[in-house]
Amino acid sequence: MPQRPSGSSGATKPLGDRQSARRARLLMTVCALLFGLFCLNVLLGKARILFGLQFGFLLSGVAEFLLLLLSALFFTLAALAREKAVGSRDAGSGS
């Protein structure tokens, strides 16, 4: 298994592709917004159960699942865009 040099850190690597870095930030922002909506829906659902509050805009189970699925999809796309922006040190090693 290849070892990382002691002084290197993935966070300090310079960006190679600025457009991919911008795309990664946008995708991560969309992911965070979708996940925030999911968490808000869960908390409002819990408040409805605990306190007997009625909200007309709570999502159903399927819609809640789709919201979480989209959040995970945008997170994956953001990670791939970030990886493309940073590049890979072992791109041509083949191992």
Q: What is the pLDDT of residues 71-93, one digit of tens each?
A: 999 999 999 999 998 886 555 55
Task: Quick: pLDDT tens for 4-20.
Answer: 555 555 556 566 788 98
**What is the DSSP-derived secondary structure letter of residue 83?**
H
Q: What does the angle CA 67 – CA 41 – CA 77 come to, to the nearest 5 degrees?
A: 25
pLDDT in the model for residue 46: 93
Average pLDDT score over residue span 39-46? 94
Residue 23 near residue 81, CB atoms below 8 Å = yes
